Amino acid sequence: MRRASSRPEPTIEIGRVHRSFGLQGEIVIHPASDRIQRFNHLKSLTIVQQGEPVSTLTVETIKIRNRTVVVKLDGIESREAANALVNASICIPESESVRTSDWEFFHHDLIGMRVVDISGTRIGTIMDILTTGANDVYVIEDTHGNESLIPAIRDVVKLVDPGQREMVIDPWDGMITKSSDPGK
């Protein structure tokens, strides 16, 4: 007999419900990755609303449309039920996540990571990641609460070491916000 785990497996967000689609309960998902073909292999998805897992549902159908994914989930049978999921996070177990390159990282791997410059001087900690059309932007907060925005491009980000929880950057002039109070 297999005993149920007291702690659920960690999940990662792979997208957000944008809107309902049609009358039969389909949902449109905006993927968190540009590798949307990964959705084709999913058997189930976990719905997370307000930070709490609501349910894990079986995938009935998946259709890739431009940069969105249209999904029909078992148990979501009407437009109204689909509309109730708008803005929900769509998650999968972390064990099912797939990285395809050494330069591809999940947001949850980077949040809280220490950031230093190429000389080893501590810049701060990654507090948030902004997703833009061209590239992600890391929100770095220093020990004084100053925020700097760092583009996630190889000209700036030189090394990411998930094991050491450290990112090395070579910031351009003016990229790092400095405290205006010399006492800080």
Do the Cβ atoms of 22 and 95 come closer than 8 Å? no
pLDDT digits 0-9 by tens, 148-157:
999 999 999 9
pLDDT digits 0-9 by tens, 74-98:
999 999 999 999 999 999 887 777 7
pLDDT of residue 16: 92
Name, in order, each residue with C-beta under 8 angstroms of 95's C-beta and a sequence gap of 6 or more: 9
Name, in order, each residue with C-beta under 8 angstroms of 149's C-beta and a sequence gap of 6 or more: 130, 137, 138, 139, 140, 175
Give the mean model confidence (pLDDT) for residues 94-106. 73
Which CATH number applies to 107-169?
2.30.30.240
Give the mean model confidence (pLDDT) for residues 28-46. 86
Domain spans, the chain? 11-96, 107-169
11-96 carries CATH number 2.60.120.860: no
pLDDT of residue 67: 81
> What is this structure's pTM?
0.61
> Quick count: other Cβ atoms within 10 Å of Cβ 67?
9
pLDDT of residue 181: 46
Which of 3-7, 96-100, 154-158: highest mean pLDDT?
154-158
Closest residue by Cα to residue 53 from 95, 93, 82: 93
CA distances from 40 to 8, 29, 65, 124 (A): 24, 13, 12, 38
Name, in order, each residue with C-beta under 8 angstroms of 67's C-beta and a sequence gap of 6 or more: 30, 31, 34, 36
